[in-house]
Amino acid sequence: MDKLQRRDFMKSAALGALTVTVGGVDALLAARDARAQGAPFRVLTLEEGGVVEALGETLVPGARSAGIAHFIDHQLSVPPADALLEARILNIKPPFVTFYRAAIGAIEAASQARHGRRFAQLTATEQREFVDLMRQAKIDGWQGPPGPLVYSVTRSDAVDVVYGTMEGYAALGIPYMPHIAPKQRW
Amino acid sequence: MATLEEVDVVIVGAGASGSVYASVLAKAGKTVVILEQGPDWKLSDLISSDFWGRRIKTVGAPFILEGQNPYAYSYQSGWGAGGAALHYFANLPRLLPSDFTIKSEHNRALDWPISYETVAPYYDRVARDIGVSGDAKAEEVWRPKGEAYPMPPMKTFRGGDIWLKACKEAGIRLVPAAVGMNSIPYKGRPACVYDGWCHVGCPTGALANPLVTYLSDAKKAGAEVRALSTVTRVLTNARGDRVTGVEYYDQAKQKQFQPARVVVLAAWSAQNPRLLLNSATDRHPNGLANSSHLVGRYMMAHFSSVTWAIFDEDVQNHMGTTGAQYMSYDRYSKTSHKGAFGSTFIVAGSALKTSDIGGFANARADLFGHELHAFMKRAVRGLTRIVMFGEALPRVENRVEVVSEKDEFGMPLARFVHSYDRDAIGVWNANFDEGLTIARAAGAAETWSARANMPTIHLLGGTIMGTGAGNSVVNSYGRTHELPNLHVAGPGIFPTAGASNPTYTIFALSQRGAEHLAATWKMIAS
């Protein structure tokens, strides 16, 4: 990568494209593309990413393919001051990975306790019922950040990736009208 | 710790109040350094996106947030040049005369040591300096006359206009909101284009954030902004009767001592007390300026009763400004609601975005999945809201106090305890009831209250002004009663909160305090 290319590359990375290694080559991908190409996570494990995708899809249809897991994973990999997660404005204490790991752990433990299966293995109906109980703090034996807070934070992430982008506005049929358009989704 | 060259004034914080002080004092020929904890943002950093807009808010606030209504610190705060005024909605209503005399009139709360008439000329001055759009004549049914605003009212859209008739029937007169935005080009800054990105920082200059007003003026007059500089203590001389400067960690996290003839704390209502308390010495064992034991006390927030409504028509909710198209003081009397004491300030009509805390999706935070998507499709066409802000009275037990746990610079964190009282809860509930009544009368197809956790909006108190060290921390100019060359600026010096957005009063009081400091410089700084 020559100097000019590297400067453009770093600039794009700073603007939120994910720097991932695909086939041994560094590449800049949007979260949606990163997911489609099977880019590895930086912080989350595959299992954690699976929970995030299943939860995100339950919260907002389309969140999985929009790349919610890669979005969160990328934001967890950057310094908290650079993170664009709504968690940062909800008084969640950094490092944010602590919150997300605790939330994922609580979901998995509760899913096993209630259904004997991991959350990602539940049916769509079961996932929906689970989330509805979680948001109301009605899951017995819940161990982790309060269920309503987990719901609020992860729902915001799902809303962000599906509705908060320029593509999301277009899909809803409303003009985005930026003064300074984001060069990447996040 | 290195000792730097002495300056006339060191200001802690480059937000709404610090920027005004910097502008006034730099123009008066003083050498001014502003130490700002966050980045020195440029207009080009203000990307139109809810994702990117989060960067201009605090991450990892150094507060342990407790109480029945823990304060929403990060969402309300600013981080970097411009402070919270970089993402404020630029609603610029005034306090009313009754806000200054609650104790005298009702034997509740506190009186201010100054009257509305004292502040009024500074409201007018600020309007000329930064540009305010509105209809002063229309407001004068509630307040004394003043100067006309320099710009006519902003455009309105259906999402605001739709409330006019029902509010009028309820006895609520809606008038054009007074806003720090350009309805027409003003002082070389363009007119607003009504695209609703105010809340993530307006990069065009149409919205009067500090980057295009006071901070810009200050820099032109020679003030220096040192970004990523975290102040940890205010230092005093051996006798303990004057401050000598501040200790801070620079961008490289090296400890520095910045000597100054005058120190102005403008780091917002919770951080200023934290700094004063962490600056305790043998001469000031309870913290600086704290013989009253009131540093960190009387922390206040506003709360809002948001009534959402979906109409069977296109209300143009993608157009407008984030703040408000209309406002009303018709429920501002402290006794407007039976059985609950405190003012209510009403605003209607705002541009909405899809995500973030104030967006479409959060209007029904209980919905998810396909129900949420169906709601979003309806909301983008017909959703609007009317918002009633409420006044919480000062409570001494709402406080900031340092604790033993420390931050990365070895500075103690602070516990911030905040709970509303029964009056505030009563006003909050009464406003929901009235909001629903108005929405139904307006013909809403669906209407509901955003009645979840009682919100905490704006931040005031903690270093209140008063007549002496027995009842307050600072005088009406923001000068501490005990240390003549130590000022505190910002909403922290408000002894009561009113119900209207505070930034106009912050600008006005800061202008007054800074001008007084400049006028008395020889006496204060020598």
Q: In this predicted model, what pLDDT tens digit does every residue of A87-139 receive, in sequence order?
A: 999 999 999 999 999 999 999 999 999 999 999 999 999 999 999 999 999 99
Q: Which of B353, B355, B377, B381 to mutate to test the interface with A (most CBs of A within 10 A)?
A: B355
CA-nearest of B289, B302, B292, B311 to B380 is B311
pLDDT confidence of residue A1 = 35
- Within 8 A of A160 by CB-CB distance, chain B residues are 50-51, 355
Secondary structure of B35-50 as H, E, C letters:
ECCCCCCCHHHCCCCH
How sure is the predictor about A2, in pLDDT bands with cuts at 50, 70 and 90?
very low
CB of B347 within 8 A of CB of B485?
no
Band (pLDDT 50/70/90 cuts) for residue A142 is very high
**Is the overall model pTM greater than 0.90, yes or no?**
yes
Note whether B370 and B377 are within 8 A (CB): no
Across the interface, of B73, B204, B362, the residue whose CB is closest to A91 is B73
Cβ–Cβ < 8 Å for B477, B513: yes
User: Do residues B262 and B256 lie in contact, with contact meaning Cβ atoms separated by under 8 Å?
Assistant: no
Residues of A with CB under 8 A from a CB of B: 16, 58-61, 80-86, 88-91, 93-94, 128, 131-132, 135, 151-152, 155-156, 159-160, 163-164, 168-169, 172-182, 185-186
Residue B141 banded pLDDT, cuts 50, 70, 90: very high
Torsion of CA B241, B245, B246, B247, to 10 degrees: -100
* Tens digit of each residue's pLDDT (9 = 90 or more) over A28-76: 566 777 777 778 999 999 999 999 999 999 999 999 999 999 999 999 9
Residue carrying structure tokens 């949007």? A30
**Are B397 and B405 contacting, i.e. CB atoms less than 8 angstroms apart?**
no
d(C-alpha B205, C-alpha B56), whole Å = 17
For B375, other C-beta atoms within 10 Å of its C-beta total: 19
d(CA B84, CA B87): 6
The residue type of A138 is: K
Confidence of residue A8 (pLDDT cuts 50, 70, 90): very low
In this structure, what token pair is assigned to residue B74?
């990060």
* CA-only gyration radius of chain A, Å: 17
pLDDT tens-digit readout, B236-260:
999 999 999 999 999 999 999 999 9
Q: β-strands B255-265, B7-12: how paired? A: parallel
Closest CA to B240 of B208, B286, B194: B286
Each residue's pLDDT tens digit, B390-411: 999 999 999 999 999 999 999 9
DSSP 8-state class, residue B206: -
Provide the angle, in degrees to the nearest 10, between the axes of the packed helices B16-27 and B503-519: 30
* pLDDT at A37 (0 to 100): 75
**What percent of chain B is modeled with pLDDT above 90?**
98
pLDDT at A18: 57
Residue A149, amino acid: L
Mind listing the pLDDT tens digit for each residue in A153-164?
A: 999 999 999 999
With CA atoms as reference, report the closest residue to B22 among B523, B526, B510. B510
Yes or no, beta carbons of B355 and A163 under 8 Å apart:
yes
* Record: contact B373-A60, CB cut-off 8 A: yes
Q: Is B499 exposed, middle or buried (0-12, 13-18, 19+ CB in 10 A)?
A: buried
Cβ B322 vs Cβ B199: under 8 Å: yes
Q: Provide the ipTM.
A: 0.94
Flag whether pLDDT at A21 surpasses 60.
no
- Determine the average pLDDT of the residues in A4-11: 40
Cis peptide bond N-terminal to A95, omega within 30: yes
CB B215 within 8 A of CB B11: no
- Matching residue, tokens 């406080």: B399
- What average pLDDT score do residues B39-60 get? 95
Are residues B520 and B29 in contact, defined by beta-carbon separation less than 8 angstroms?
no
Q: DSSP secondary-structure letter at B454?
A: P
Average pLDDT over residues B338-347: 97
Do the Cβ atoms of B458 and B268 come closer than 8 Å?
A: no
Work out the mean pLDDT of chain B and round it to a whole number.
97
Handedness of CA B207, B209, B210, B214 (dihedral sign): positive
Phi, psi of B299 (to 5 degrees): -70, 135
Question: Residue B47 and residue A178: Cβ atoms within 8 Å?
Answer: yes
Per-residue pLDDT at A29: 63
**Mutating which of B315, B368, B408, B456 best tests the A interface, going by the most A Cβ atoms within 10 A?**
B368
pLDDT of residue A27: 52
pLDDT at residue B61 in the model = 86
Helix ranges, B239-307 (H)? 271-278
Task: List beta partners, residue B231.
Answer: B248
For residue B342, give the 3-state DSSP assignment.
coil
Determine the average pLDDT of the residues in B302-314.
Answer: 98
Q: Which of B46, B357, B369 sits opposite A128 (nearest CB)?
A: B369
B489-523, pLDDT tens digit by residue? 999 999 999 999 999 999 999 999 999 999 999 99
| Residue whose C-alpha is closest to residue B207's, from B88, B358, B77 | B88
pLDDT over 50 at A14, yes or no: no
Amino acid, single-letter form, for residue A20 = V
Q: Which two tokens stand for residue B483?
A: 């240390």
Residue B464, both tokens: 């209140």
What per-residue confidence (pLDDT) applies to B515? 98
Cβ distance A179 to B197 less than 8 Å, yes or no, reads: yes
Widest distance between CA atoms in chain A: 57
Does residue B479 register a pLDDT over 70? yes
As to burial, measured by CB atoms within 10 angstroms (0-12 exposed, 13-18 middle, 19+ buried), residue A24 is: exposed
> Which residue among B61, B318, B353 sits closest to A91, beta carbon to beta carbon?
B61
Interface test with A, best of B37, B50, B66 (most A CBs within 10 A): B50
pLDDT of residue A11: 44
* Gap between the Cα atoms of B504 and B119, Å rounded: 11
